[in-house]
Structure 1
Amino acid sequence: MNNLILDNADAIVIGGGTIGSATAWHLAKSGLKKVVLIERNTIGSGNTSKAASLMTLVRTKEELIPLIQETYKNIEEVEALTGESTGKNNVGTLHIASSNESVANLDKITSIANKHHIKNKDITANEVQNKVPWMDTSSIIKASFMEDDSFVDAYLLANTFAKAAKIKGATIMQNTEVLELLSEDNEIKGVKTTKGTIMSPVVIDAAGLWSNLLSLQLNIPIPMAPVRSIYWITETIESLFPKNHPMLVMPDAMAYSRPENGALLFGLREENSPHFHPNELNPEPNSDFLGPKEDAWDIIENYGKDFIKYFPKFEDIGIKNCITGISTYTPDGYYTIGSFPNFKGFFAATGCAGAGVAGSGGIGRLVTEMVLNKPLYASSEVFKIDRFTDFDPLSATFRQRCADARSKKKDGG
């Protein structure tokens, strides 16, 4: 290994997914002269590339909303700066309620939307049918349309953030692995990589599912774990799945969907989502199916019955692909952002809880303000890295707590 000291940096960001790339951009545009973004493979090539990337604005965890709104603003800014597209598609989201419990929850969601000035309107079953040609609307009691919601291509978003960061002066190091975090007397000093050592008083761990393998070198546990996400893509039938087809949130079916180039992408919640030790997972970009191969069909059979009630022609539609990826879930469903008490210069920006793409820009801004000791634009208390105590993030017990948080999630993608 080359032990050459490459240079000093003002800040180092580890991980080139949407969160890491957004953080590098925010740091660079804030005026820091030497920002370095380090990615083991290539920007956006890891789990970012497998994200369903629903950018639903309304969340029952209201603290997430300002961060997602910030991401929307950031997308406009980096697209204008770079001339690149993030694949943003403004199709809106339909929230469907087919039970009294879901109606009550939808009333709460629309109240939250109104509080945060997010456009929404109740629509009739006939209007739902016009927007969603494949849907049986007979069971719908209430539906609300959030017209400003979009989805993106997370791979393009990560790369656009990284290009914007580079324009602002950041250095992007791809195909470079961080081997060791360097510290002394509870203070970060830099990182040792496969291409040499970089000294810096600030290191931000945005390494996604690998975050704890780095932070635990400093005896800092991050409260999150790798949990499987899974979705399917149907065959292309543009008459059923037009490109302006809205996204759907269907809590009574524990399901969500969005258009995918004339096909339908849909995901289902499992009762017990598989969780993994980071060392069990392939560090290289790959399309390996996570878990037993039969899950691709067994999950539809076991958990898809209520979704299929909405979709009477489902059994006549071919499935083109089933994709598994990793979300880094926390036990409470909140991000993990910030520094660790009594340790100087080390920050976490991870634990996406299934909303990492949507909140990426907002996370990047928040951690940048923390690094620069500026007033925070949004409340950060619920995201604190030390909000849980006495846990081993790599243990099966703790990973199960994180998996349970995914399995019980109903709102958003």
Structure 2
Amino acid sequence: MNVLILGGGGREHALAWKIAQSHHCNKLFVAPGNPGIAQVAIIVDMGTHDFEGIKSFCLLNKIDVLVVGPEEPLVNGIYDFMEKAKTIDGWRGFVVGPSKAAAQLEGSKAFSKKFMQRHDIPTAAYAEFTKDSFEAGKQYIQQHTLPIVLKADGLAAGKGVVISETHEDALQVFEQMLINRQFGEASTKVVIEEFLTGIEVSVFVLTNGVDYKIIGHAKDYKRIGEGDTGLNTGGMGCVTPVPFITEAFMQQVEEKIIAPTVKGLLAEGLVYNGFIFFGLMNEGGNAKVIEYNCRMGDPETEVVLPRLDTDLLSLFAAMDNGTLEDTNINFADGYFATVMAVSGGYPGNYKKNIPITGADKPLQVPGSLLFHAGTRQEGKAIVTNGGRVLAVTSKGESIGKAVQQSLDVLGTINFEGMYYRRDIGFEFS
């Protein structure tokens, strides 16, 4: 099969690394890719929003599988666009990703909350407000218990969620989002939620909208500072398997969250052929949904796929041809830990185009993998091109040993201002 992956971050590097191992993979292309991805795939200079260009490329190169990494093309309807290419242009491949309507699970916080309500899926209590109901929203905030969670309804590049510790702060955030349109179209509606306490965990599923397979889980570390302090980021690292994810807990997640979600999609006629990322809160053994994502996470993909001991391309084919229910999912033994190296100043302002040493070749350390996230080729040099720059994933007999090996590898890589947390998995070490 010929495969095209859309995206250019650590998630897409991990997807490319995994798919390249499949004996079903003939040609593997990634657009726009990055220097690390270039070590395992053919890079295509094409944007993820260039739907016409993507269609032309798929037709010209006889692409059998289009894997969509980031959320925006999915929310904007790449699945539907390529489905039309089957009837109009004779494209014979398939997309790994949901339809535009189904992608609202991630694209609209209000849609996802209503969906969970309709299908009795456990989640935080909430209310939604628009500019027209601004005064009612202010009253709701003033009566709300603390802390208060405010979410811009649409996609806001991971920055649309704020946890306010005071009513005054919540009111300011509410006005900033809704009246001052802090996130543009994404904040024309604001969802206000109760604050859930517990431990966060993510579960990843591949589904065809009828059947599903759990392909992994991970605990992500969002805060920039050690000890889970400081500002939120896109993710500083993660570990799997998570010790508290017992068979009983996972059974509860399946019965109360995953199965009702897939049944709900089917009942509502929402076409879904791809990944569902369940962001969960473990509240004393009871799971509640914080959010859905309609694609794999980052850096969770970098830790989940190395543990997945099943051919990913075969799973995609089974998803497409209706045999997903008959496939077996296997996991590698041991523990896996990903540590993310970021630019100095991230998640605030940071510099780009800083030369990186030690990341120009595939990693030769047994049990460890180097994934490029925000890098760019400049002549013969590889330079930084984002806030989150590189991720190292390692396997170990324990979470502590896996983390230590990743830290050892990062010690051989350097760029000015480079920062990474040394305490990923700290509560399990």
TM-score (norm 1): 0.29
